[in-house]
A and B are shown apart, each in its own frame.
Chain A
Amino acid sequence: MNNVIAVFESTHAAIEGERACLAAGIKCQAIPLPREISAGCGIALEIPDSEAAAAEALLHKTGIAASIRRR
Chain B
Amino acid sequence: MKTVDARGMLCPKPLILTKKALNGLAPGGHLTVLIDNETSKGNVERFCRDNGVDVSAAQDGAVFTLTLTKRRGEAITVDEKAYCGPDGPRKPHVIAFRGDTMGSGPEELGAILMKAFVNTIKETQPLPSHLVFYNTGVRLVVEGSPLIEPLAELEKKGIKILACGTCLDYFGLKAKLAVGTVSNMYSILETLSNAGSVIAP
Are A and B a genuine interacting pair, yes or no?
yes
A7 to B181 alpha-carbon distance, docked (Å): 35
Instruction: Find chain A residues with CB under 8 A from B150 CB.
Output: 29
Interface 1/0 per residue, A21-42 and B, CB below 8 Å: 0100000011110000000001
A27 to B17 alpha-carbon distance, docked (Å): 53
Instruction: Find chain A residues with CB under 8 A from B113 CB.
Output: 43
| Beyond A29-B149, A32-B116, 16 additional pairs, beta carbon < 8 A | A11-B109, A14-B112, A15-B108, A15-B109, A22-B146, A29-B115, A29-B119, A29-B150, A30-B116, A31-B116, A31-B119, A31-B120, A42-B116, A43-B112, A43-B113, A46-B119
Number of interface residues of B (CB under 8 A): 11
Instruction: Find chain B residues with CB under 8 A from A32 CB.
Output: 116, 119-120
Instruction: Find chain B residues with CB under 8 A from A31 CB.
Output: 116, 119-120
Nearest A residue to B119 by beta-carbon distance?
A: A31
Q: How far is the CB of B42 from chain A (nearest CB, A)?
A: 41
Query: What are 7 A-B interface contacts by the 8 Å CB criterion?
Result: A11-B112, A14-B112, A15-B108, A22-B146, A31-B119, A31-B120, A43-B116
A32 to B112 alpha-carbon distance, docked (Å): 10
Interface 1/0 per residue, A1-28 and B, CB below 8 Å: 0000000000100110010001000000
A15 to B112 alpha-carbon distance, docked (Å): 7
Q: How far is the CB of A48 from chain B (nearest CB, A)?
A: 12
In B95-139, which residues have CB < 8 Å from any A CB?
Answer: 108-109, 112-113, 115-116, 119-120
Instruction: Find chain A residues with CB under 8 A from B119 CB.
Output: 29-32, 46
Nearest B residue to A28 by beta-carbon distance?
A: B146
In B142-182, which residues have CB < 8 Å from any A CB?
Answer: 146, 149-150
Nearest B residue to A34 by beta-carbon distance?
A: B123
A23 to B109 alpha-carbon distance, docked (Å): 18
A30 to B108 alpha-carbon distance, docked (Å): 12
A31 to B109 alpha-carbon distance, docked (Å): 13
A29 to B112 alpha-carbon distance, docked (Å): 9
A32 to B120 alpha-carbon distance, docked (Å): 7
A46 to B150 alpha-carbon distance, docked (Å): 12
A39 to B141 alpha-carbon distance, docked (Å): 32
Q: How far is the CB of A50 from chain B (nearest CB, A)?
A: 16
A11 to B106 alpha-carbon distance, docked (Å): 12
Instruction: Find chain B residues with CB under 8 A from A42 CB.
Output: 116
Q: How far is the CB of B133 from chain A (nearest CB, A)?
A: 18
A29 to B117 alpha-carbon distance, docked (Å): 11
